Amino acid sequence: MTRKTFFIAAALGVLAAGAFLAAPASAQGLVAQALTAGTVGEQSDGYLGIAGTVSQAVRDEVSAINIKRRAAYTDLAAKRGVTVADAAAATGCQTLGSRVKPGQVYRIGTGPWQTKGSGPIALPDYCATAG
């Protein structure tokens, strides 16, 4: 499978099974508040990250969400015959491109946290192969 084919297939898989990206009901309030406050953000690797000072409860919820995401990426990777990191990165591209709202923070690679403006996020080069 070529990288482009994988990204297209993964994006479709993510759209079909996107529920795993959402926080569980009990965490939605804490994580949603932290996303709005800019202390938690999406990363290009497909996982949530801590971007500022947060409570232990928020850290725990972010960790729980990331564990669920990793499980979903592992399943997707096995179905697609790719690495877990590639499955997570494909989802990260999709998330950065469509789910991060203006005012929320995000990070690409190990770079600094950035705040999304009104325009699109400049995605990593590997995301360009998805379209």
* 78-120 pLDDT tens trace: 999 999 999 999 999 999 999 999 999 999 999 999 999 999 9
In a domain, 45, yes or no: yes
Mean pLDDT of the chain: 84
Q: How confident is the model at residue 5 (pLDDT cuts 50, 70, 90)?
A: very low
41: β partners: 49
Helices 56-80 and 3-16, axial angle in degrees (round to 10): 120
In a domain, 128, yes or no: no
> What does the pLDDT average to over 7-30?
52
Looking at this protein, which amino acid is placed at residue 36? T
43: β partners: 107
In a domain, 99, yes or no: yes
In a domain, 15, yes or no: yes
In a domain, 112, yes or no: yes
Handedness of CA 41, 76, 93, 24 (dihedral sign): negative
pTM for the predicted model, two decimal places? 0.80
Looking at this protein, which amino acid is placed at residue 12? L
